[in-house]
Chains A and B, each alone.
Chain A
Amino acid sequence: MLKPFILFCISILFFCPSKGQDSTKLKSKVFVHVDEIPIGKLYRWKLPNYNLKFIIESEAQSNSTAVPASFSNSFLFPRFIDEIRKNNAIDRLNSNNRFGALFQTKIGVIFYPDSTWKAKQQGIEIFYKNQNIIGSHFHSDFFKLIFNGNAQFAGQTADLSNSRFSILNFESFNIGYIKTFKLSGLSVNVGLVRGRSYTDLNIRNGRLFTASNGTQLNVDFNGSFEQSSRFSNVFKTTPSMGASFGFEYNIQLPKGINLDFKVEDIGFINWNEKTDLIARDTSFVFSGLNVNDIIDSDKDLAFIGDSLFDKLRGPEIKGSNMIALPAFFQSRISKYFFNKWSASFTLNYRYFTGYSLFKKIEIGKRFRKDRYILLSIAQGGFGNIQTGIQLVLINSQRHFFKIGTLANEGFISKKMSGNGIMINYNFHL
């Protein structure tokens, strides 16, 4: 699916006729964020000729050191995961694997009032952001257990140690201040955060032995499980709230060099008092639900899985719990050549399960009608080596549209996992 989509985008880039004005004329009129146009002259520090700018950004990507995109796509585009897909993933697994996905939507507005504010190159931004983030690191046995079951471990021990799986969904309403200087710019924002859901399974030490004939399961578990209440968003319950802070600073240095520092989502969410908080250090042997005990105690017949789960879970404890937001730190240096080429190096880190230091080198070229293509190679994040392509398809007076994707599988190498799509649309009045 990804492959035809990218071909479709490239065809637009090269062959779609545009009625747009000459790019040199447009450039002076278009104010864009530093992430949006990495090449050409620095237009962003010029005073914008509009008062209001709407931003719609959406990004969805998954990445892994081992799990191929064809596998993780099965969750994005629901379908049956057959044995071939599973085996493709299992063949690449080792004792420490990472997988992650990010789904993020941002809708906002930047306002430059016609007043002394604009004269002082000041603006305010207001935006809403919804972020889903999945992160994990896991032993290969963990993956095999989840997707193939435990029958394959008959007579053996599955090692689940050092595995962690986290899912976080939150939304924030942010308000910020923008100030531009002659060769630099600064923006600062604070946000009110509301947590929607949170799940975190952390197996520090875990082993599951399955007897060869299935007569018993030996479980060793040292870890924790936290999960927000399913009802945390119902009005009658206490909402899970928090706060966030972010800033960005850009500066233009001589010889077409730009530096950019960005921090997002430094903050917290305090999950409400209905959050499940389980910490267990236990070992037990499960031989099945003891029917005699049920008859003797005159209990209702329990579900068999519940009994095993109950043993694993232990006593139910609920309480409030404060966690840090998946803070994002990024620095980038870029340089422009000959008004048509650019090169940049980016480092970033996201404080979340399974995310490692991300390094990216990106080369860009401008085409006719102010369209751009950016090619990158990177390492880190939720994955390993990865490639990417981004296309600026529309870059007119009022509209800016960028789309990008990871281009690992199907293009570069089948051994490079990960895929994703980024859509960025700006519209200003």
Chain B
Amino acid sequence: MKSSKIRHTFKLFASICMFLLLSNCNNDKKTEWDTNILGPLATFNIGVTDLIADSLIINDPEQPVFIRYIDEFNLIPIDSVLQFPDTAFEENYSTPFSFTIPAGTDIYSENQQLRFVYKDVQITKAILEQGNSILKINSTVSDKLFFDYSIPKATYNNNSFALNNQEILGFDGVNPSIFSITTNLSGYNLDLTGSDGNSFNSLSIALNAKLNPDGNGTSVIAGQELLNYSSKFIGLKPYYVKGFLGTSSFSDVNKTIDLNDLKKISGILSIQDIVMNLNLENSLGADFGFTINNLSFTKIESNQTITLNSSIINNEQLIARAQHINNGTFPYSPTYRSYLFNTSNSNIKDIFELIPDKINYSLAARINPLGNISSGNDFYYNTSNLKVKLTIDFPLSFSANALTYKDTLETEGFEFDEENSLKSATLSVLASNTFPFDLKLKTYLLDKNKIVLDSLLTNDIISAGNVNTSNKVEQPKNSMLKIIYNEALNSKLKNTRYIIVKATMNTQPGNVLLPIYKNYDLKLQLIGNGIYRIGIK
């Protein structure tokens, strides 16, 4: 009876517990609700100085923007022209007879002419900025040797390079006795006229070795190698050289430069004016000549090509050598040559308005086009070069008609959580524009086969600021663009592999050259208004 009651009460209790458990067993569910969130998400300001580096704008902020673009570069990679080639000398010494060498006998005494091999460069003097000399002697003579090594025409503070009375231990019967020394030649003057003083690229080196004078002499066998001697010059880089710098030349024929970024821009652009100045500076102690045989610019999309019309084309231009001077920042005075391209003497304006995306050119250049007219007095300093300075001046005043920027971006697709919390939204872009041009924006989503899935912006226009009678915008003009988001867009975004962005610019009013002022800007504010699902587990 008692156990029956217990069983019964337990059964009842278990029933109630089960009822409660089953009622509350949906633990994988979440408490969710939708909220409507409205607020600013991001702001982005595009000003003139965001589009054009401030350093390029040279005028008063109150005046229309005037741009000066300057580019400077060295025409000659100088290291490849005047770097001493690594050079080595090596010799073995043996005797044809077997005999005994008395103590203190000179067993090796040689003067060698080391020659640095260039094409047609003939250097007679050099001051080294860096580089090393490596001397190595292997001896198989059983007694000690003493040697003197010198480079008589390599001087530092008027002292010749010399290693005197250096000792090499005797051969132990197993391994040669080795002497090795590396010397830093930085700051050394090299006279490269050779031992006779009339040569070039030549350096005399001398080695004199004698047997230990305090020894007992040594026996040698016919044909036995007594000495192996090498002298290397590694990484010699000159601070200054004198001589004949040769007639190195190079030419590029029918070369092409692709301006890929400009391929994304098309349309009609009119600019007010443009002036280009090409300045050449020759600080080499050698003449320089160059010829531009052809220079043409192409817009591939419209298949238009414009060739530069200028007197410089097909006429070799000579730039005389620099001159040595005693005073100044540098020990030389460069020579200059300047070429001006403007709307009066060339068609450079037409070229810029073409917005070319390909440049074709043929040109040739050479050093010493007139030969060795300095009688070996060409010079080079490590600061010498042929410098090109390109200056382009133009007022930022233009008219654009359907000037279009189009780009295709690749993407891996956009992943969304299965429980995407954003259910629907309208993303508004509030644009406040003081630029005097409209911007028509289009964005397309494409799948892997480049089939359009959807568009986010179609024919949405950011309106131009209104200009006054002076063609100046005083007040920004507001526009609102809207992007509608719903859950159906998720799958399209997921399958998106390409995004086409297209922005078309039209200055307003049309066909009028409109100056751009530095305070112009385009303020964009992204505002979200969406249903966001909040979930709590």
Contact = CB atoms under 8 A, between A and B. Distances in A.
Contacts of B529: 151, 214
Contact of B37 (A76, A78, A86, A151): A151
A247 interface: no
Given A19-B8, A401-B9, A289 B43 contact: yes
Interface in B30-59: 30-33, 35-45, 50
Interface in B1-46: 1-2, 4-6, 8-10, 12-13, 16, 19-20, 23-24, 26-27, 29-33, 35-45
Contact of A304 (B20, B36, B42): B42
A285 to B, nearest CB: 10
A398 B430 contact: no
Contacts of B525: 215, 287-288
A287 B43 contact: yes
A288 B19 contact: no
A1 B1 CA distance: 36
Contacts of B532: 149
Contacts of A81: 31-33
Given A214-B40, A215-B430, A288-B42, A149 B8 contact: no
A401 B8 CA distance: 13
B527 A80 contact: no
Contacts of A323: none
A334 B215 CA distance: 129
B29 A78 contact: yes
A397 B3 CA distance: 12
Interface string A285-308: 011111110000000000010001
Interface in B493-537: 525-529, 532, 536-537
Contact of B43 (A9, A18, A288): A288
Given A77-B24, A147-B33, A286-B39, A394 B527 contact: no
B36 A149 contact: yes
A74 B38 CA distance: 25
Contacts of B5: 18-20, 396
A398 B23 CA distance: 28
Nearest to A146: B35
Contacts of B27: 78
A213 interface: yes
Contacts of A77: 23-24, 26
- The main secondary structure of chain A at its interface with chain B is mixed
B132 interface: no
Contacts of A20: 5
A287 B23 contact: no
Nearest to B50: A292
A17 to B, nearest CB: 9
Given A19-B1, A77-B24, A149 B35 contact: yes
B428 interface: yes
Given A75-B536, A77-B23, A78-B536, 9 more contacts: A19-B4, A76-B24, A150-B38, A151-B36, A213-B527, A288-B527, A396-B6, A396-B9, A401-B12
Contacts of B12: 12, 16, 393-394, 401
Contacts of A357: none
Nearest to B25: A77
Contacts, number: 128
Contact of A399 (B6, B37, B38, B40): B6
A217 B6 contact: no
Contact of B41 (A149, A288, A403): A288
B145 to A, nearest CB: 65
B231 to A, nearest CB: 53
A345 interface: no
A51 to B, nearest CB: 18
A148 interface: yes
A140 interface: no
Most buried by B among A9, A149, A292: A149
A5 interface: yes
A53 to B, nearest CB: 16
Nearest to A154: B38
Interface in A74-91: 74-82, 86
B35 A217 contact: no
A151 B38 contact: yes
Contacts of A425: 13
Contacts of A8: 19
A237 interface: no
Contacts of A148: 35-36
Nearest to B428: A214
Interface in A299-354: 304, 308
A232 B43 CA distance: 39
B527 A291 contact: no
Nearest to B10: A399
A148 B10 CA distance: 46
Contacts of A1: 23
Interface in A205-226: 210, 213-217
Contacts of B33: 80-82, 86, 147
